[in-house]
């Protein structure tokens, strides 16, 4: 009777550990998948330069996160989640290949407009501003002009007080005749 009870306790403990591992691996899988989904809304230019390096870096983080989930699911013996982790790794590698291979000359490209790793000097094309950047620039300029107006109005209003303070603190200036 004692051995059977300990066997039931062991199985219950294994089920609890399996449940914890499944929840932990599922959370990791969701995080990495969310990062991959957020990559579709990349807010910066990814054509060349630092924006491209950041984009490829995030793709590398997706591959690293997929490896993280794959190791976790392998140790916890979660075959379905392990398959999803391997698919995320494969998708991340595909994204990296789609960005890197045309730039090193391995994939077919448009010969008139080849993709570049580094951007041109920027004198030929102005930087593209988004609607958000335009609104932020307008708001900052508007706020700056309002600040100038309000500070000059305040200075005009405080001139009599400033003159009274000057007379009170420096009465010797009143006694001297103006040259």
pLDDT at 130: 75
Question: Does a structural domain hold residue 43?
Answer: yes
Q: Residues 136, 54: one domain?
A: no
Q: Residues 80, 21: one domain?
A: yes
Q: Report the distance separating Cα 120 and Cα 51, nearest Å.
A: 13
The pLDDT of residue 96 is above 90: yes
Q: Report the distance separating Cα 34 and Cα 23, nearest Å.
A: 16
Radius of gyration of the chain (CA): 33
Q: Which residue did the predictor score with more confidence, 151 or 58?
A: 58
Q: Which residue did the predictor score with more confidence, 152 or 74?
A: 74
Question: Does a structural domain hold residue 139?
Answer: yes
Q: Residues 30, 104: one domain?
A: yes
pLDDT in tens, 98-122: 989 888 877 777 777 777 778 776 5
Question: Does a structural domain hold residue 54?
Answer: yes
pLDDT at 69: 93
Residue 145 belongs to what domain range? 129-179
Q: pTM for this one?
A: 0.59
Alpha helices in 39-170 (DSSP H): 49-75, 79-100, 131-157, 159-169
Of 119, 145, 163, which closes a domain? 119
What average pLDDT does this structure show over 86-104?
91
pLDDT at 60: 95
Q: Residues 14, 86: one domain?
A: yes
* Token pair listed for 59: 């793709």
pLDDT at 31: 92
Instruction: State the Cα angle at 66 between 63 and 69, rounded to 5°.
Output: 155
How many folded domains does the chain comprise? Answer: 2
């Amino acid at each position: 009777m004692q051995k059977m009870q300990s066997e039931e306790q062991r199985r219950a403990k294994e089920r609890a550990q399996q449940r914890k591992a499944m929840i932990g691996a599922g959370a990791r899988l969701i995080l990495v998948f969310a990062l991959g989904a957020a990559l579709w809304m990349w807010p910066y230019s990814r054509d060349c330069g630092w924006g491209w390096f950041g984009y490829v870096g995030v793709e590398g983080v997706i591959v690293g996160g997929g490896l993280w989930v794959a190791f976790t699911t392998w140790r916890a013996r979660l075959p379905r989640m392990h398959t999803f982790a391997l698919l995320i790794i494969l998708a991340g590698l595909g994204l990296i290949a789609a960005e890197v291979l045309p730039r090193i000359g391995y994939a077919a490209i448009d010969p008139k407009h080849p993709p570049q790793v580094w951007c041109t000097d920027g004198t030929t094309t102005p930087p593209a501003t988004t609607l958000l950047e335009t609104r932020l620039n307008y708001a900052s300029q508007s706020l700056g002009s309002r600040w100038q107006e309000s500070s000059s109005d305040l200075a005009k209003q405080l001139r009599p007080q400033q003159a009274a303070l000057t007379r009170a603190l420096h009465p010797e200036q009143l006694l001297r005749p103006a040259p």
